[in-house]
Amino acid sequence: MQIAQLHSEWRPDMYHAVQKYDLKQFKALLKDKEKPILIAESAQGEVLGYAMCAVKRVRGIPVMVERDFLWVDDLCVDENARGQGIGELLMEAVTSLARERGIEKIELNVVERNEGARKFYERLGYVTQRRGMEIWI
């Protein structure tokens, strides 16, 4: 909900501050080997953050090189646990997961307005691949 709240504050024209998945959808995600979820926990078992990923496969598009990549759909660290290196640990785990699966590239999106997230990913070596643009008419 924290990530949904931020997105809805920044882009109320695009996002609602609602839970992304219901319990049934979440349970299905947990079983999907192509959509791994990495969890950071405290020693007491409290969830401190998560990374929701998906293996993406580019196939059958003549102008595109066939390839696989690991897509980071969501990365969220609980607001009470930020600044403790948890996001970095999660992204290290994402990188390890990609390597284990023989995937050589990780991709993700960052909301342009989220300067903290952009700087975080840049610090980890991520570079801008493309920029989405829009105009209201």
Strand stretches in the chain, DSSP E: 37-41, 47-58, 67-77, 106-108
With 0-12 CB in 10 A as exposed, 13-18 as middle and 19+ as buried, what is 8?
middle
CB 56 within 8 A of CB 101: no
Residue from 99, 118, 93, 116 nearest 108 by CA: 118
CATH class of the structural domain 33-123: alpha beta
Helix ranges, 23-67 (H): 23-31
Model confidence, pTM: 0.86
Higher-confidence residue of 119 and 8: namely: 119
**Per-residue pLDDT tens digits for 72-129:** 999 999 989 999 999 999 999 999 999 999 999 999 999 888 899 999 999 999 999 9
- Those residues whose C-beta lies under 8 Å from the C-beta of residue 68, and which sit 6 or more positions away, are 55, 56, 57, 58, 103, 105
